Amino acid sequence: MPEQTAGSRPTLEAVAARAGVSRATASRVVNGGAGVRPPLVDKVRRAVEELGYVPNHAARTLVTRRNGAIAVIIAEPEFRVFSDPFFEQQVRGISRELIAYDAQLVLLWVEGPGDHGRIARYLGGGHVDGALAFSLHHDDELPSVIRRARVPAVFGGRPFLPGGDGEPRVPYVDADNRGGAREAVRRLVSLGRTRIAHIAGPRDQTSALDRIAGYHDVLLDADPELIRQGDFTAESGARAMAELLEHRPDVDAVFAGNDLMASGALRVLRESGRRVPQDVALVGFDDMRTVVEAVDPPLTTVRQDIEGMGRLMVRLLMRVLDDHGANGSRTGSPASVITPTTLVVRASA
Amino acid sequence: MPEQTAGSRPTLEAVAARAGVSRATASRVVNGGAGVRPPLVDKVRRAVEELGYVPNHAARTLVTRRNGAIAVIIAEPEFRVFSDPFFEQQVRGISRELIAYDAQLVLLWVEGPGDHGRIARYLGGGHVDGALAFSLHHDDELPSVIRRARVPAVFGGRPFLPGGDGEPRVPYVDADNRGGAREAVRRLVSLGRTRIAHIAGPRDQTSALDRIAGYHDVLLDADPELIRQGDFTAESGARAMAELLEHRPDVDAVFAGNDLMASGALRVLRESGRRVPQDVALVGFDDMRTVVEAVDPPLTTVRQDIEGMGRLMVRLLMRVLDDHGANGSRTGSPASVITPTTLVVRASA
């Protein structure tokens, strides 16, 4: 337990006072935030962090947990973990939320399939109370590794395989990738563009497939030559853009599957002498601050609340752990959550 | 244990054959590398990685370990962990070396002093066999938290406090920060510069203090106005450079305490219309690839082998664990290691 006496613990009343809300509102936020307006949720969460408040809820459930630690597993090698700002934002949300539950975050990643045996041993060793896993790929063994270790889990992004018959489904948190992609492409159509290309993310991830589907929802008879493959890195966006310019020099708009690929595409467009947005309009996906405002022109993109999705993953996991603790066995998992996306218009389209 | 039979395990002979060295040389490298020339060490390590060789040494000691997991603790908040390439490189070295020992890396960081109690509970809970901690600060409780948890540890960078009387000293791996700083400043002196400034790193870290000491070793009577305070971030380097230009517009050279601060200083120098190196020569520290070659002009800097230091930390820790395992109690710690630095001359000085 923390090195402070029970008496020195900040109370829910103190949180409510600091946030300037009623005790009932503070309580609702601490227990999930349902029915509370987002600005108030933010105020209460800030007060929780500043005071170091540990909810009774968390204190109660921690008693039923053995380790007070949660594993965050990113199914990517170390260089991607540290270079893609997506992971940083997701982990930031998770980290902040876990602090409110006084749970220790331990971060793991996967250099390759050779790591699965070791991760299985670690998870099976009973060192963590739960796991949050994201960036799962189609052929990824990680979901079954986690299932076999019988560690309660929540996934970030919809996994490919929902689990076998009779196995409980693992809840996940995802963004409305398909709806967001539709908005991006509709924006380009509304600008009068007629040769709208798509630089797709890796087809072994559902987020990339959903964005491709959204593109096709709007452009039912899109020319396959206008669709090029990337892997969510800036370099792959540059490569795909170079291919597009070679095969379809008449391209007048690009929807890139994420902001990093859009930044690579933008570089190639400028090197080719094309003006953005006058000659080629460009839309990304993610609204990654460090990318969209660093490029010239600033990037029109589809915003997903990555940090908020990280927080939601933690809250879902805590619900799963509560169910375990209360009944000694699973009572079925909470429902998965799909969060909305928003088109953010800047100068590139 | 890994999902492979003992028979399928690559042997030390296979490693030696692949590396093109004798079995004795391969064995020496696997057991620490003493007395083997660096190019051969590299060859053997590559063969170890490519074949997935697990040293008997590691296999033996793993039996005496409970968890097969090692905690890497970065004494910085999450945003620094993910934005400073220094940590990425150090963690990369640690990660690769731990794979060779078939140990699971779990990464933790410290958002603030409020995290120490939780980390102490986690370490005390017996979930890891050892800990590697770096970026320690002067008032940092982390070393005593680790000591109290009785987890064998190795530090990255020399800690401030060597531990109380009778307590075993924790071994550390550090670069020759003072010698490297001397080389950097001597380079600027050799270019005929006479008003050489220093942008210092945070004074609660020994690496920053050692680099300041190296600066003073060469410039015994440096004007205090030429020394400005940063915090190892690019933004702080920009701020410090702006102060320098305001108070000492005659400055003709800058030794920045790391490459990130140098990149911030470079931006401000260019905005002020100064040419680098003609008007102001600039030297950094670290040789961070993603920084030194991305800036214009490319940065002259002091190279430290950050990834190699991460590997060394793991090897030292394995020696500590062996001592524990063999005797059931401590037999004294292995000696700390100071690794050499090299001046790398590019266009900025």
3-class SS at A177? helix
Please report, as a single letter, which amino acid is at residue B348: S
Report which of B216, B205, B191 is spatially closest to residue B283, judged by C-alpha positions. Answer: B191
Q: Which domains does chain A possess?
A: 1-53 (1.10.260.40), 177-304 (3.40.50.2300)
How far is B290 from B130, CA to CA, in rounded Å?
Answer: 31
Per residue in A138-167, pLDDT (tens digit) is 888 888 889 888 899 999 999 886 555 556
Q: Which of A142 and B219 is assigned the larger pLDDT?
A: B219
Whether residues A69 and B127 touch (CB distance < 8 A) is answered with: yes
The pair of structure tokens assigned to A74 is 């990113």
Chain A hits for B118, CB-CB cut-off 8 Å, are 2, 68, 102-104
3-class SS at B143? helix
Residue A187 dihedral angles phi and psi, to the nearest 5°? -60, -45
Average pLDDT, chain B: 87
Whether residues B117 and A4 touch (CB distance < 8 A) is answered with: yes
In sign, the C-alpha dihedral spanning B41, B43, B45, B51 is negative
Q: Nearest chain B residue to A2 by CA: give it.
A: B117
How far is B236 from B213, CA to CA, in rounded Å?
Answer: 20
Task: Please give the DSSP secondary-structure letter assigned to residue A6.
Answer: G
Please report, as a single letter, which amino acid is at residue B110: V
Q: Nearest chain A residue to B80 by CA: give it.
A: A88
The pair of structure tokens assigned to A165 is 């018959």
Q: Which of A81 and A239 is assigned the larger pLDDT?
A: A239
Chain B hits for A82, CB-CB cut-off 8 Å, are 82, 85, 87-88, 91
* A276 min Cα distance to partner chain B (Å): 24
Per-residue pLDDT, B325: 59
Residues B308, B314 contacting (CB under 8 angstroms): no
Whether residues B1 and A121 touch (CB distance < 8 A) is answered with: yes
Residue B309 has pLDDT above 90, yes or no: yes
Residue B56 has pLDDT above 90, yes or no: no
Whether residues B78 and A67 touch (CB distance < 8 A) is answered with: no
* Burial bucket for residue B37 (CB in 10 Å: 0-12, 13-18, 19+): exposed
Other CB atoms within a 10 A radius of the CB of residue B9 amount to 15
How far is A128 from A163, CA to CA, in rounded Å?
Answer: 22
Whether residues A115 and B99 touch (CB distance < 8 A) is answered with: yes
How far is B343 from B302, CA to CA, in rounded Å?
Answer: 4
CA geometry: angle A10, A14, A19, nearest 5 deg: 125
Of A60-64, B85-89, B275-279, which one has max mean pLDDT?
B275-279
How far is A329 from B340, CA to CA, in rounded Å?
Answer: 56
Whether residues B69 and A95 touch (CB distance < 8 A) is answered with: no
Which residue's entry shows tokens 């083997």?
A: B36
Residues B61, B321 contacting (CB under 8 angstroms): yes
How far is A342 from B318, CA to CA, in rounded Å?
Answer: 50
Per-residue pLDDT, A294: 87
* B6 min Cα distance to partner chain A (Å): 15
The pair of structure tokens assigned to A244 is 């597009």
Task: Categorize the per-residue pLDDT at B167 as very low, low, confident or very high, splitting at 50, 70 and 90.
Answer: low
Task: Categorize the per-residue pLDDT at B168 as very low, low, confident or very high, splitting at 50, 70 and 90.
Answer: low
Strand order from edge to edge, sheet including A281-283 = A227-229, A196-200, A253-256, A281-283
Which residue's entry shows tokens 């909810």?
A: A55
DSSP string, A286-323: B--HHHHTTSSSPPBEEEE-HHHHHHHHHHHHHHHHHH
Instruction: Give the mean pLDDT of A105-122.
Output: 90
- Residue A139, H or E segment: none
- Residue B142, H or E segment: helix B142-148
Whether residues A92 and B79 touch (CB distance < 8 A) is answered with: yes
How far is A155 from B219, CA to CA, in rounded Å?
Answer: 56
Give the nearest partner residue to A78 out of B91, B115, B125, using CB atoms: B91
Whether residues A118 and B106 touch (CB distance < 8 A) is answered with: no
- Residue A101, H or E segment: none
**Neighbouring residues of B322: CB distance < 8 A, sequence distance ≥ 6:** B57, B61
CA geometry: angle A76, A79, A85, nearest 5 deg: 80
Chain B hits for A51, CB-CB cut-off 8 Å, are none
Question: How many Å is the Cα radius of gyration of chain B?
Answer: 22
Q: Which of B200 and A78 is assigned the larger pLDDT?
A: B200
Instruction: Give the mean pLDDT of B247-260.
Output: 97
Whether residues B104 and A99 touch (CB distance < 8 A) is answered with: no
Per-residue pLDDT, B138: 85
Instruction: Give the mean pLDDT of B178-197.
Output: 98
Residues A131, A120 contacting (CB under 8 angstroms): no
Question: In this predicted complex, what is the ipTM?
Answer: 0.73
**Neighbouring residues of B228: CB distance < 8 A, sequence distance ≥ 6:** B197, B198, B199, B200, B240, B241, B243, B244
Other CB atoms within a 10 A radius of the CB of residue B142 amount to 25
Per residue in A256-285, pLDDT (tens digit) is 999 999 999 999 999 999 999 999 999 999
Question: How many Å is the Cα radius of gyration of chain A?
Answer: 22
**Neighbouring residues of A13: CB distance < 8 A, sequence distance ≥ 6:** A23
Per residue in B313-329, pLDDT (tens digit) is 999 999 888 876 554 45
* Burial bucket for residue B150 (CB in 10 Å: 0-12, 13-18, 19+): exposed
How far is B183 from B177, CA to CA, in rounded Å?
Answer: 10
Task: Please give the DSSP secondary-structure letter assigned to residue B301.
Answer: E
Give the nearest partner residue to A108 out of B85, B104, B115, using CB atoms: B104
* A35 min Cα distance to partner chain B (Å): 30
Chain A hits for B127, CB-CB cut-off 8 Å, are 67, 69, 127
Per residue in A278-310, pLDDT (tens digit) is 999 999 999 998 899 889 999 999 999 999 999
